[in-house]
Structure 1
Amino acid sequence: MNITDKIEQAKPALPVEGRMDAPPRARAQQPGGRHVRQEDVVELSTSLSQISTTELDQQQARRIAAIKAQIQSGEYRVDSRQVAEKMLADGSGI
């Protein structure tokens, strides 16, 4: 018997109902003991809207203005070594 025969003899996967990561007591049941599928819920925090980003926005605007001025005056230079290091760094997607 080779591996192909074993694969062909494998049992088909059975569908799973309900959330398997939830403990059994957290699953809702219909009368008769049948489980009801529960939907996942995503709640977004409102605390981010309470944090002021004005200072960060101003810092970013100053950096952008400085780079634009350097580009317009011809003083802006790209460090090719730094660009290459960033491209080859872990997590760069390359």
Structure 2
Amino acid sequence: MALFLTFEFIASIFIVGGFFSNQPNEAKVLTLFGKYVGTCKKPGLNWCNPFYYRTKISLRKRNFNVDRIKVNDALGNPIEISAIVVWQVED
């Protein structure tokens, strides 16, 4: 009986240790000893092998604004240059 309870206790710790949650626009990259195993993109409560290392990644759109700068072209005319870079992580 004691052996069964010990096994049950160890199994319950193993099961509970694998639960994790994802927020909307968030994913987890699963790795085992540095090797890619998979990606979990479902929001909410999820379960995976508790030995997997889970790294959080944001899936929301991001942007980077470059300030406006004034330069001269080859003929000496002033030009204003600006840029906006938009990116999003995709699978």
TM-score (norm. length: structure 2)? 0.23
Structure having the larger proportion of residues in strand = 2
TM-score (norm. length: structure 1)? 0.23
Give 1 or 2 for the bigger CA radius of gyration: 1
Structure having the larger proportion of residues in helix = 1
